[in-house]
Every structure is written in structure tokens, then in C-alpha cells.
Structure 1
Amino acid sequence: MTETASSLIHPGWFAAIAILLWATSLLPEYLTALLFFAAVAVFRAAPPDVLFSGFQSEAFWLVLGGFVIGSAIRKVGLADRIAGKLAGRLTGSWLRMVAGVIAITYALAFVMPSNMGRIALLMPIIMALADRAGLAQGSPGRNALALAVGFGTYQLSASILPANVPNLIMTGAAERAYNVQFDYMSYLLLHAPVLGILKGLVLIGCLVWMFPASPRPIEDRAETTGLSAAEWRLSIILLVTLAFWMTDTLHGIRPAWVGLVSACLCLLPRIGFLNGEEFAAGVNVRTCIYLGGILGLAAVVAWSGLGSAIGDLIIPHLPLDPARPAADFASMIGLASLLNFVVTANGVPAVFTPLASSLAAHTGLTLPTVLMSQVFAYATPLLPYQAAPIVVAAGMARVPTGATVKMCLTVALISFVLLGPLYLLWFRLLNWIG
């Protein structure tokens, strides 16, 4: 990048325009991502290895592998079979169906570390359940179930330490910078009551209210046929994949590469289940490009130093007062939420955590409390682009962008108005705030 170009065209301008277009849906999300790539590349506002780093990320390849695995689950009929097993327990009323899906997403987060992996596993099953309940493509009910998978998987998993990428970035950065460590149970006790249980109830209420539906009753009929050879092969692949995902801390193989190997097995002749045409139809290229754009934008912002600059610019203007720890705590959440607009959820802990020591020095809060305050912010995106798993879930089920945006804004409003004060109260009860 030449000195002239760097002084005249800061990558922040391109990031701001992309964020505006994604927020307003003036252009299709994939087109905005392509325009962002083109503009930054043409004007050399960032190096290509930074701009296109999203396509090298584990998240991108886990999503691509998830599309393949999901297509295979649907093709061989395994999704419909599992949906049939769930039908009797999740049907009976619209509230029960939505609540059941939310509960499944939260329960699975305790045993499976990857948001993208959980979405890839659950989405074809829940969509098959929607088919059985007569919720057609594009209907409010079907959109609601897809969003239940996306929002439940991402937002609720923030309350479980190893189940969310931003959590891992935050704890890793805190350990490197401050030698501060958080253990599993204390983290769960601090966040699960509000960001897990109460947030789950908020999601259920919003989905049932915003997307009314009348699913038809599903008979809990017993399967009359056994598993086919293809179902057996795919079941074995899925069980081995799940086992590797659950034990990634033991063997060291990242969930993305486990998912990619499984996707390759699903595509192999004779062993696999999908041909070239089915692969092309099953992979949502629009969502992949969109995800690459989101991750690339976060990388460009981090490379340019824009996130840290924004934080340094805002801190002097925050109403920080050691005598008012509650107001300071609210300011921490507000700052992290603002950063979420610029660097997205995965970037928030990378930018906020280095600022934590300075923030703690200007407030009446301890360093661990400042570090933990950001969790509420990145677990509550105001717009879909801030949380890649929500984007992926909506893309897999072809949920309209407008519906996803409305759900994000509604949940965020209720969370900040209702759950925020309860979050503060819970921190006080546990003596994290004086």
C-alpha cells in the first residue's frame, strides 16, 4: 500500500460502508461482501492476505463442511428419521416446538464445542421436522425454527466457556495479557442464569410472538423400516465426527478440519452420498461469500488499528466514576456493544481485552469484572452480520434478511432493557461488583 493511498483512503471508510449496507439490506449481503473485497483490493487499502483471510479461517471451512454434511443428512433420509423421533416430544403446540428447539441448541452446546458444527448438525434435522409439521419454505413458522437454531446456538452458548469462539478469544487474551484465568464452573455460574436460561426464555417468547404458526400435529409413529446401508454409513461418520468435536482438547485436531474430513467422506465415490451436482446445490455460495466478507472486514479493521483507536477515543468520554460501579459496568457493556458494530463478535474480545486494564483503573471495577462485562455485549448482537453463526443458520434455511434483522433488534432491545439490569444484579449477588 502506497503512502498516498494509505493517507487518502483508510480501510475504515470501506468497512463503514459495508456495515451500513449490511445493516440496511440495500444490496444483497453477498454483493456487499464482493464490493468490499473489490474496493479494498483496488485501492490497496489493506494487504490481500488480510483482506481475504476469512477464506483461510477455520470458521469458513467449518461452514462449507457443514453445508455438505447437512445435504448428506437430508439426502439419505437420516434427517427425516431423527425428526420423526423428535416429533412426538416437540409437537403439540407452537410454543412447545419452539421451546424444544431452543432447549436442544443449549443442551448440545455443553457437549459440542463448535457453533458452526452444531448448526450443521441441527439444521437439516429441524428443517425435516418443519416439513413434517407442514411448515413450508418461506413460511413464518419455518423461518422461526431456523432462527431458533441460529440464535439459540450462538447466543446461549456464550454462557458456556468452551462453547463459543469469542469466549475462547477473550480467555486466551486475558491469560496472555494479564495472567487471569477463568474456570468452567465459575464462568457457568456467572453467566448461565441470565445469558443462558433467561435469554433462552426471551428467544422463545420473541419467536412465538413474531412468527406465529400453527404446525399440524405429527403422529409419533414407529419407524417400520430399519436403517439403510447409506444411513448406517452416514451415522457412523456423524458419530465419529461428533466424538472428535467433543474431544478436540485431547487430540488437538480443530473442529473445522474434522468437519472438512467428514465432508470429503460424504463426497467420495462409493463411500459418500453426494455427486457434483448435489454438492453445488447443497453449498450456499451466497452465505459462504457473506461469511468471508464478515471475517475479512474484522481482519481489516484489526490490522488497521481502527478498533483500538475507537476504544482509545471513546474511553475519555465514558461516564466512568469509581464511586458508581453500576454505571461503570453499564458503560463497559455499552463500549463492547459499540465495538461489536465495527469488529463483529469475534473481534470484540481481541480489541476490548487489551483495554481492560486501563478501564479497570478508571472505574470502581476489578479487572476480572471488566473482562467479564464484554460477554453480555458480544452475546447480544444488534444486527446479524455481527454474529457469523446467525448468518450461517439463516443462509442454510434461506431465511429473509429482513426477518433476521427484526429478530436481532427485538432480542437486543429486550436484552438490554430487561436482562441488562438483572445481569448487573446477579454480578452484585455474587460479589463481582461492589
Structure 2
Amino acid sequence: MMEEAWTGAALVALTIGLWATARLPEYLVALLFFAAAAILRLAPPDILFSGFSSAAFWLVLSGFVLGTAIRKVGLADRIARTLAIHLAGSWPRLVGGVVLLSYALAFVMPSNMGRIALLMPIVMALAERAGLAEGSRGRIALALAVGFGTFQLSASILPANVPNLVMVGAAESAFGVHLSYLPYLLLHAPVLGVLKGLVLVACLCLLFPARPRPIEAPPPAEALSRDEKRLGSLLIATLALWMSDAVHGVSPAWIGLAAACLCLLPRIGFLNGEEFAAGVNVRTCIHVAGILGLAAFVSHSGLGTVMGEWLLRILPLDPARPGNSFGALVGLASALNFAVTANGVPALFTPLAQSLADASGLPLPAVLMAQVIGYATPLLPYQAAPIVVAMGMGQVAARDGIRLCLALAAITFLLLVPLDHGWFVLLGWIPR
């Protein structure tokens, strides 16, 4: 049993190392992980391949279909023409506008993957109109603005991403702690939403400088074509169902899949078989399934719990130094990201929260909230599946995503975490 645990730990470490260093293509690393774990019988198939049955996987696939249809019928370029006039005045303005758009959409649309599927074809068309060629630094920056803005900033809005929902469920079941929309927003939006959004814009502009060409006012737009009207109606209906999932109870993934199927139906759809094959990035889909399967494997094998308890023993938690304890808790959540990725962090961190509160002297609600900063700040792209999907759709190399991850993480830990601690104290979540 001990030998099996060490083998599993070695496989997880090797998989993470290969994803982090990009020595092999990300999809190949995922396939090698599946093959090794299956041959060595380290986990049952339903655990190992659970990523393929997850809602996230099917939302990714349907997102590629919807994005391809939006581009084909011309809706992406039409919306991009409208946005270009308002955003293309300067490079910071263009980047800031895309980041703001990704954050604003999180207030009305609950799914990270759905927002990326909706925004990415529009933003790529916007890049085209601004003269940012495929593979250029400017185009890379706008794709990363969608991915990072969608995932990292949406953590400040309670129902806007999966890790938040996992945390809410775990906190209610374990401790009876109920979190409300507005208090949560007030606690996290100023630092984790607004300030981090400004930091993201600054990092993108500095790491990926570009000069978008000036865009003149377009001629009067032609009337919507029949296909544009039909697809627009489908997208509005899909968006409405995504926004109201709390009412009807249908997962955004299955709504997206139904919309994708309608796009593919003969005669009434928009895409044929060849366009489907060209539009769906199978590499990214396999990568996402690998990330989700790795997280499920770590949880099933107990490696995550062992890692959490070990980190708990070495953390510098001291009731006399609440600021240091707060930073250590954020660091713990960030470290757990390596093993179980962002979606799995709350499932491991939350059960430890009472022990962490006792050791640190911080109130239990503050300990629960500290983890949000950690899982919303991945050190490597693979730790957040929405970022991986955005990079795949925008054809962004792994090294560019890693550069931005590390820059944002460094500024977050050095500047934003102390500011967040002060904000927690000011609002009374942490005693003075």
C-alpha cells in the first residue's frame, strides 16, 4: 500500500513537472498520465477518466463549437467592429477594455467556460481589426486578458466560478457557515476584483507591448443576415438559460451542449463535419480532461489530504502575528493548487479550516475567505482549466501563460495580500 502511494505521488509530480516545463505537448502529458495510472492500476477507471464525464469538459467542447459558429456567420466580426471604435485608442485602453468586459460579464453569466467561449472569438476578431497578427505579442496579450480576467477576477463574485461554489457547499456542510452575495462581493471585489484587474492590465501591457493600428469609424453596418439572426437568437437563449441555472437547475454544460448540437444539425445548423473537426481543439479538450482526472486521482488516493496535513504542521501560524498567519493561509491554498488545481483546493482546504483557525487565532470565516485569494492566483496555467482553454482558443504558447502567471502571483503575494489583510481588518472580518 505504501509503495502504491509513493508511485502515485511520483506520477503526480512527474505529470505536474512536465506541464510546468512544457517539455512535451500538454495533451501528450495528459495521455501519458492516463496510460501510466491505468497500467499501474493506481485508480479505478471511473476516477481516472472522470474528466471526460465532467460538466467542465463538455462545456469546453461546446464552447469551441459555439465559437466556431460565431466566427463563421460573421457575428464575431460585427461585434468586434462596434467595440473597436471604443477600445482601440491606445494599447492600455484596448487591454483594459477586454479585461473589464471579461469581469463585467461574470456578473450576469455564471460559467467561466461559457464566458470564454462567448468572448474569445469576438476578441480575436477585435485583434484582427486592430492589426494584431496571429502569433504577435498583442494578440497573445488579448487572449490572456480573456483567460486571466475571466478566471482570476471572477473569484470576487460568489456564484461566478466553480471553486467558489465548492467552497460554499463545503463550508455549509462542515461548519454551517452561510455566505451571502453582497458581503462576499464587498469583501473581495475591491482588492481581488478591481485592484487585481488593474495589476493584470499593467502586466499585460509591460510583458506584451504592442501598437494596435488606429481604427476609423466603420461604414453603416449592413442588416443582419438570416444566419446571424438565427445564431444571435440561439446565443441569447443560451445566455438566458446560463444566467437562470439556479431557477431551472440545468447545468450550464448541458445547456451549452444542446446549443452546440443545434449548431451542428444538418440544414438548420451552421457547421458541417469538416468545420466541426477544424474548430474543436481536441488537444485542449484532452488537456482539460487530464487536469480534472489528475485532481480526482489526487483526492481519491488521499495524497491531497496528506499534503494538506503536512503543510499544516510546517505553516508559521501564530496568534500573536495575524498578518503573517493570514499570508501563510493564502500560501497554503496556493500550494494546494499544485496538487488538485483550483477546483479541488476548497474541497481540501475547507475541512482543515477549523484547525487552521485554532492555530492562527483568526476567526473561522476569515480563514475560509483567505483561501479565495490563493486558489484565484495560480502559479502555473494548468492549475486553472479556464486559463488553459483560453490559451488553447487563442493559440498561446505555454511559456507566455507561465510568464504572466508568475508575474501576477509575485505582485499578488507582495502587494495585494497585505492590502487584502488590511481590508479584512477594516471590515471587521479580522479583529484589530
The normalised TM-score by structure 2 is 0.98
Output the CA distance in 1 between the equivalents of 2:403 and 2:420. Answer: 23
SS in 2 for 1:26: coil
Residue of structure 2 aligned with 1:418, choices 408, 415, 418:
415
Alignment match, 1:178: 175
Output the CA distance in 1 between the equivalents of 2:278 and 2:381. Answer: 24
SS in 1 for 2:430: coil
Deviations 1:346-381 (A, max 9, x none): 010000000001111112101111100000001100
Output the CA distance in 2 between the equivalents of 1:224 and 1:103. Answer: 25
SS in 1 for 2:396: coil
Output the CA distance in 2 between the equivalents of 1:41 and 1:97. Answer: 46
Alignment match, 1:56: 53
Alignment match, 1:198: 195
Alignment match, 1:312: 309
The answer to whether the 8 Å contact 2:323/2:418 transfers is no
Alignment match, 1:151: 148
1:10 CA displacement: 3.3
Output the CA distance in 1 between the equivalents of 2:203 and 2:318. Answer: 36
Residue of structure 2 aligned with 1:10, choices 2, 7, 10:
7
Q: Which amino acid aligns with 2:265?
A: L
Q: Which amino acid aligns with 1:63?
A: V
Residue of structure 2 aligned with 1:38, choices 24, 35, 40:
35
The answer to whether the 8 Å contact 1:385/1:391 transfers is yes
Alignment match, 2:114: 117
Alignment match, 2:299: 302
1:237 CA displacement: 0.4
The answer to whether the 8 Å contact 1:5/1:43 transfers is no
Aligned length: 431
Output the CA distance in 2 between the equivalents of 1:4 and 1:208. Answer: 49
1:18 CA displacement: 0.4
Output the CA distance in 1 between the equivalents of 2:47 and 2:57. Answer: 15
Does residue 278 (structure 1) correspond to residue 285 (structure 2)? The answer is no
Q: Which amino acid aligns with 2:239?
A: L
Deviations 1:278-298 (A, max 9, x none): 000000011001000000000
Output the CA distance in 1 between the equivalents of 2:239 and 2:29. Answer: 34
SS in 2 for 1:45: coil
Output the CA distance in 2 between the equivalents of 1:266 and 1:249. Answer: 25
Does residue 20 (structure 1) correspond to residue 17 (structure 2)? The answer is yes
Coordinate RMSD, CA, aligned: 1.1
Q: Which runs of 5+ in 1 are unaligned?
A: none
Output the CA distance in 2 between the equivalents of 1:224 and 1:245. Answer: 29
Residue of structure 2 aligned with 1:88, choices 80, 85, 88:
85
Residue of structure 1 aligned with 2:378, choices 359, 378, 381:
381
Q: Which amino acid aligns with 1:329?
A: F
1:311 CA displacement: 1.1
Alignment match, 1:268: 265
Q: Which amino acid aligns with 1:150?
A: G
The answer to whether the 8 Å contact 1:336/1:377 transfers is yes
Alignment match, 1:351: 348
Q: Which amino acid aligns with 1:270?
A: R
Output the CA distance in 1 between the equivalents of 2:412 and 2:319. Answer: 26
Does residue 76 (structure 1) correspond to residue 73 (structure 2)? The answer is yes
The answer to whether the 8 Å contact 1:326/1:433 transfers is no
Does residue 399 (structure 1) correspond to residue 389 (structure 2)? The answer is no
1:432 CA displacement: 1.2
Residue of structure 2 aligned with 1:103, choices 92, 100, 103:
100
SS in 1 for 2:115: helix
Alignment match, 2:253: 256
Report % sequence identity. 67
Alignment match, 2:132: 135
Output the CA distance in 2 between the equivalents of 1:199 and 1:296. Answer: 30
SS in 1 for 2:338: helix
Deviations 1:85-141 (A, max 9, x none): 111111111111000000100100000000000000000000000111111110000
Does residue 342 (structure 1) correspond to residue 355 (structure 2)? The answer is no
Deviations 1:312-351 (A, max 9, x none): 1121222222222211111111111111111110010000
SS in 2 for 1:345: helix
Residue of structure 2 aligned with 1:220, choices 190, 211, 217:
217
Q: Which amino acid aligns with 2:4?
A: S
Q: Which amino acid aligns with 1:20?
A: G
1:4 CA displacement: 8.8
The normalised TM-score by structure 1 is 0.98
Output the CA distance in 1 between the equivalents of 2:303 and 2:199. Answer: 34
Equivalences for 1:162-173 in 2 at 5 Å? 162-173=159-170
Output the CA distance in 1 between the equivalents of 2:220 and 2:364. Answer: 56
The answer to whether the 8 Å contact 1:73/1:79 transfers is yes
Alignment match, 2:186: 189
The answer to whether the 8 Å contact 1:66/1:259 transfers is yes
Q: Which amino acid aligns with 1:405?
A: I
Alignment match, 1:432: 429
Q: Which runs of 4+ in 1 moved over 4 A?
A: none
SS in 2 for 1:362: helix
1:418 CA displacement: 1.1
The answer to whether the 8 Å contact 1:119/1:393 transfers is yes
Output the CA distance in 1 between the equivalents of 2:414 and 2:92. Answer: 24
Output the CA distance in 1 between the equivalents of 2:90 and 2:327. Answer: 38
